[in-house]
Amino acid sequence: MLHRYPGHKTSTEYTKPVDRVVGEAITAWERLRPTQEKRLDPKTGELVHFLFSCGRIPVGRSYLNKRLIPILCKKAGIPACDVPGRITSHRARSTIASQLFNAKEPMGLFELQQFLGHASPASTQRYLRITPTKLANSYSDAGYFARNIRAVEVLIDQDAVRSSAVASEPWKFYDLGHGYCTYEFFDQCPYRMACAKCDFYLPKESSRAQTLEAKENLLRLRQEIPLTDDELAAVQDGVAAYENLLTKLMDLPTPAGPSLRNINGNGLVQVATPSPHKVPRQTAEKTKPRM
């Protein structure tokens, strides 16, 4: 429900929503309290009715903080002091502001400014404290790690491992969608999002790839690969970012030895495109470069 608040040192009279229980309690008290004369408000210089007043004497802040609040805390079974210090009337105002700011559907800074009756948002900011839970949720919602990680299917040739042939033939295969990479340290390869046709690359249209896929003893796992900003842009932002990534990698040696520039003597480089199975559906077509 809405409740009218008198002006104070930083704001004129204003109306704001309060919990119905609070609003009904204030209305009931205004009906029951003894008749009182208007008194001078030292903050505004206006003659007003004080909400908490005993006859002609307003209830002071000292009485509220040192007598009434400790009595209420004892009655409620909670301590009158906590880690930040004593529980006071102003602490309640600050706590409510922080709770509204950290709520599931939080109030914005300017909404809280109006709710608290502040003339400046700088005053409101001093009341706000971000809770660890809100900070953790915001960090999770930002999706930093989910955004910068791609899952790649890894095939392990168990026969090669059991026969100790791992020293002479490939045994681990990273499924890139368009082919397989047999480089054991694929997660450290700078070409993993723009695979060069080096000795470690096994295109899926080859008979070797078909033989691999026909094996029944393959152990299928998934590995999360963290992406750099350039790799992420190549996956999400299309041809221009992909070509920019290739340009940066042009003279960098591949795991097999030669660089992209040296793979073909004429300087024309044939590369494998990022797999559409590893990127969001709406960006799959954009990431395919012109050959």
Where do the domains of the chain lie?
2-139, 146-283
The more confident residue out of 139 and 8 is: 139
Full DSSP string of 141-163: HHTHHHHTEEEEEEEEEHHHHHT
Predicted model pTM: 0.40
* pLDDT at residue 35 is higher than 70: yes
pLDDT category, 255, cuts 50, 70, 90?
Answer: confident
Q: Helix, strand or coil for residue 227? A: coil
* pLDDT at residue 8 is higher than 70: no
Backbone angles phi, psi at 201, to 5 degrees: -85, 135
Instruction: List, for residues 44-55, the tens digit of each pLDDT value.
Output: 777 877 777 766
The more confident residue out of 62 and 58 is: 62
pLDDT of residue 265: 55
Q: Computed from CA positions of residues 101, 105, 110, 116, in that sequence, does the dihedral angle turn out positive or negative?
A: negative
DSSP 237: S
Instruction: List, for residues 71-130, the tens digit of each pLDDT value.
Output: 988 988 888 887 778 888 878 788 888 888 888 788 888 888 888 878 788 888 887 877
* Helix or strand (DSSP H, E) at 62: helix 61-63
Distance CA 169, CA 153 (A): 20
Distance CA 156, CA 164 (A): 13
| Residue 88 burial by Cβ neighbours in a 10 Å radius (0-12, 13-18, 19+) | middle
Six token digits for residue 244: 């920019």
* pLDDT at residue 264 is higher than 70: no
